[in-house]
Structure 1
Amino acid sequence: MLSVNELQLGYHGSQRIIKDLSLELPENKVIGLIGPNGCGKSTLLKGLCRLIQPQSGNILLRQQNMAQLNNRQIARQISVLPQVQTNPEGLSVRQLVEYGRTPYVSHWGKLSAADSQIVDSAMHEMAIDSLADMPLDALSGGQQQRAWIAMILAQDTDIIMLDEPTTYLDISYQIELMRLIRALKEKGKSIIVVLHDLNQAARYCDLLVVLKSGELQMMGTPCEVMTEAMLAEIFDVQAKVITDPVAGSPMCVYL
């Protein structure tokens, strides 16, 4: 799906954040990016969807160099929900979700009946049908987050990237969202998600990519990655790793 070769990423006037990173990300998996604060998780996600340009190295999207693709070509393959969203003033919930169809509509921006049906489906999936005509800035943080996720679903790409998507969500909606991510994977989607909750990452992800100080430390299944030694070395915490009695995944119990 994505091939990263000797990638270096940073921001204007700042030092490198991602340093000489190389990895292969397979299709049809839920891939969690984990690591301590400041390790480069969000920066890597921005680089993978070309929100920021590589300082060196390259990213191949299905064997094509992303530097040679235009924004519309990328937007038809990758949708992304950043960590922080700016709510456009005066925009209704439905209008926001409709923006997800932008890569597919003509320059006139008129939605087809099929586009409108996809928007309706995305809003229903995130349980925001009743909020369709509400101004976005009148919603709670959790409701706004669900509206933004609905926009991503309306974009209907094969690859979905989410940066800490459970932020602002109550625990019930966090569980619902992670189950939705698993359901999307069953529909053939590939999801790359930044997560802080390690138990959530272990329970819902197929693969975990562990970063520290901008460098790849390890990559593997939750059972391979989530060890007491890794938690001590990467996160500087003492913990016991046991089996989740419900999901059967590894679960951290911090000491």
Structure 2
Amino acid sequence: MLELNDIRFRRGELEIGPVSMELSPGEILSICGKNGSGKTSTLTAISGYIPLIGGSIIVDGDNLRKLKPSFVARKISYVQQEIPDPMGFTVRDVMEISGFTRMGGDEEIVDALKLCGVEKFIDRDFSTLSGGEKRMVSIAGGIYQNADYIMMDEPTSFLDLDKISTLIKILNSLKEKRKGVLLVMHDINLANRISDSILLFREGKVVAFGDKEDVLTIHNLEMAYNAKFAKYSSPEGIRFYPVEMEDFTDFPEEAREGPQHS
């Protein structure tokens, strides 16, 4: 299990936290909220690139900050939103770097690329790929790393609708393999469709965390997004949409203090 226990950290002028959550093997957890609310920063803090000013991160019983980087890489992989563009690197090179801690060979690399539908690019210069193709190669690299928990920041960025469908199949396959999947998502309806649990942010504070049915309520969404919401039933389940902007200045004190199970 990946556990955040009341972690606090700073990103610029914003202090984020305390944040507590649990991600179990075979579970998909999505972090949602407005831009600048602390979603990506939380993934970055888990990765160790932002120092904590309080709390702890525990992975399968071990304090993540006390583990060697090579062991952390076996536990957690991170597919970032901003895609690095190394000059002169082929897709194969990018994949090998992603899996630097494992002894996999070409067969495993091709399998990960094939899962993401980009195996034909294996010998292409990575910099010549489109944004969507780079995104799928990056996801394939995160899968090839073969960590127990995989984090993806806005994995649908740059993706066409058919690739989003492919991504959903990939996430379900990771879940079947008992991987814990932690996503940052803009699309609350897609998050609702694919996730088991949701962590909802507003301005660095947790509005709610828990099962998606408990977290994705009209009240919680209005608090997180500073907008009036409504919902309707569709063949894919309940869908939410904003209907009117409003300034919610009276943000409950309890939501500032920590996770709330709605």
Alignment TM-score > 0.5, same fold: yes
1:17 aligns with: 15
Task: State the TM-score, normalized to the length of structure 1.
Answer: 0.90
Task: State the TM-score, normalized to the length of structure 2.
Answer: 0.88
1:1-255 equivalences in 2 (<5 Å): 1-11=1-11, 14-105=12-103, 114-246=104-236, 248=237, 250-255=238-243
**DSSP 3-state at the match of 2:227:** coil
* Counterpart-to-counterpart distance in 2, 1:230 and 1:56: 26
Write out per-residue CA displacement over residues 50-91 of structure 1, whole angstroms, 9 at most, x where no aligned residue: 232212221111111111101100000111011112111000
Equivalent position amino acid for 1:163 in 2: D
**Counterpart contact for 1:17–1:43, Cα < 8 Å:** no
**DSSP 3-state at the match of 2:44:** helix
CA RMSD of aligned residues (A): 1.5
**Counterpart contact for 1:27–1:190, Cα < 8 Å:** yes
* Counterpart-to-counterpart distance in 1, 2:33 and 2:84: 26
* Counterpart-to-counterpart distance in 1, 2:6 and 2:115: 38
1:209 CA displacement:
0.5
1:16 CA displacement:
4.3
1:98 CA displacement:
1.8
* Counterpart-to-counterpart distance in 1, 2:25 and 2:50: 22
* Counterpart-to-counterpart distance in 2, 1:25 and 1:101: 23
Deviates more, 1:232-241 or 1:118-127: 232-241
1:110 aligns with: none
**DSSP 3-state at the match of 1:254:** strand
Write out per-residue CA displacement over residues 192-214 of structure 1, whole angstroms, 9 at most, x where no aligned residue: 00000010000000000011111
1:35 CA displacement:
0.8
The answer for unaligned runs of 5 or more in structure 2 is 244-262
* Counterpart-to-counterpart distance in 2, 1:17 and 1:245: 40
Distance 1:16 1:240, change over 3 A: closer
* Counterpart-to-counterpart distance in 2, 1:23 and 1:156: 23
**DSSP 3-state at the match of 1:104:** coil
For these two proteins, the number of residue pairs brought into alignment is 243
The answer for unaligned runs of 5 or more in structure 1 is 106-113
Deviates more, 1:220-229 or 1:167-176: 220-229
**DSSP 3-state at the match of 2:98:** helix
**Counterpart contact for 2:4–2:22, Cα < 8 Å:** yes
* Counterpart-to-counterpart distance in 2, 1:101 and 1:25: 23
* Counterpart-to-counterpart distance in 2, 1:39 and 1:230: 14
